[in-house]
């Protein structure tokens, strides 16, 4: 495994890249602590401007790009952060630095990939994608996610389940202590909408059907011609239990709780990239940490 590129890219440390992952120093732990508001919802550090968050999205996408290798088959996400990654990837493809193929999680991302010169492939039986890169609306410390704010949750789950390794990229505003501040998107088969709304309300949600902004009375439809219901649950105490209940409700095509999907998250926090992986403490992306990720993403 070649780690020279990553060692030059990230701040070097004296430890060997194979020595494992060190716990972050107390100062970093303090910086990473999530301050919980009276509502029980949480945010990471102080509020930032749109410009600052845009810079963080770009930074996370740039780091994710360093794990892409020629010959990979990629899963391309949807949304503003994934769009940064698609644009950066397209630059590398156009200049001949990378040769890849991809499947996108939405028609919007498909069009963006075509514009950027990224070759697209279709789903076929037996196909495993090497690496998926996508954003998220909320990320908990144990990598439970809320996704689908852009309405692409069904295809996102399909594509990201087909990825051997799935990395979430995000700005610091997406890191929460518990899911629930962001309304949970639920994709609903149109015929079943009235009954599904009743079921969601019985589960404790305040469900609202998503409408097209500025088009009075016109429902938003997904790429699969389904409806989206945005569910305001407040703090979700047990995401796994809610996931099971939603999955067993007839008429729900898919929901935006993603558990056991992400292998890692790269969260930009100012000039720093924070790495989250299941079973490991959050830590800054150092050369050893990058090498551990590279070893997981790129099999020998």
From 56, 144, 156, 289, the catalytic residue: 156
* Alpha helices (H) in 190-273, listed in sequence order: 193-202, 239-247
d(CA 290, CA 17): 8
Six token digits for residue 212: 């097209």
Specify whether 138 is catalytic.
no
Three-class SS state of 113: helix
- Per the CB < 8 A criterion, the answer to whether 218 and 147 are in contact is no
Six token digits for residue 155: 């295809």
Cα dihedral 99, 100, 106, 110, rounded to 10, equals 30
CB-based contacts of 132: which residues, under 8 Å, 6+ apart? 74, 75, 76, 77, 159, 160, 162, 163, 165, 166, 167
Q: Please state the φ and ψ torsions of residue 177, each to the nearest 5 degrees.
A: -80, -40
In the chain, count H helices and then E strands. Answer: 9, 16
274: nearest Cα among 87, 63, 78: 63
d(CA 165, CA 262): 8
Angle, in degrees to the nearest 10, between helices 80-94 and 50-65: 50
146: nearest Cα among 257, 9, 21, 293: 257
CB-facing half-sphere around the CA of 216: CA atoms within 13 A: 0
Which are the catalytic amino acids? 156
């Amino acid at each position: 495994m070649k780690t020279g590129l990553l060692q030059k890219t990230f701040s070097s440390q004296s430890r060997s890249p194979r020595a494992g992952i060190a716990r972050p120093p107390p100062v970093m732990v303090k910086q990473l602590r999530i301050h919980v508001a009276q509502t029980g919802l949480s945010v990471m550090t102080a509020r930032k401007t749109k410009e600052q968050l845009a810079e963080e999205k770009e930074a996370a996408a740039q780091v994710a790009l360093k794990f892409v290798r020629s010959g990979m088959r990629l899963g391309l996400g949807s949304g503003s952060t994934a769009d940064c990654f698609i644009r950066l990837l397209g630059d590398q493809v156009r200049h001949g630095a990378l040769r890849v193929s991809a499947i996108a999680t939405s028609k919007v991302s498909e069009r963006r990939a075509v514009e950027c010169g990224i070759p697209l492939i279709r789903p076929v039986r037996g196909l495993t994608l090497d690496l998926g890169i996508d954003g998220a609306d909320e990320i908990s410390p144990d990598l439970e996610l809320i996704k689908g704010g852009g309405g692409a949750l069904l295809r996102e789950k399909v594509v990201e389940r087909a990825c051997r390794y799935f990395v979430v990229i995000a700005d610091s505003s997406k890191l929460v202590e518990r899911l629930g501040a962001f309304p949970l998107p639920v994709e609903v088969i149109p015929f079943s909408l009235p009954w599904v709304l009743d079921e969601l309300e019985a589960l404790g949600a305040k469900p609202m059907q998503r409408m097209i902004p500025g088009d009075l009375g016109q429902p938003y439809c997904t790429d699969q011609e389904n409806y989206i219901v945005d569910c305001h649950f407040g703090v979700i105490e047990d995401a796994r239990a809610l996931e099971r209940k939603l999955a067993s409700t007839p008429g729900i095509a898919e929901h935006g709780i993603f558990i056991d999907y992400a292998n890692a998250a790269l969260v930009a926090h100012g000039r720093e990239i924070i790495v989250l992986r299941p079973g490991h403490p959050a830590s800054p992306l150092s050369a050893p940490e990058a090498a551990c990720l590279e070893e997981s993403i790129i099999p020998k």
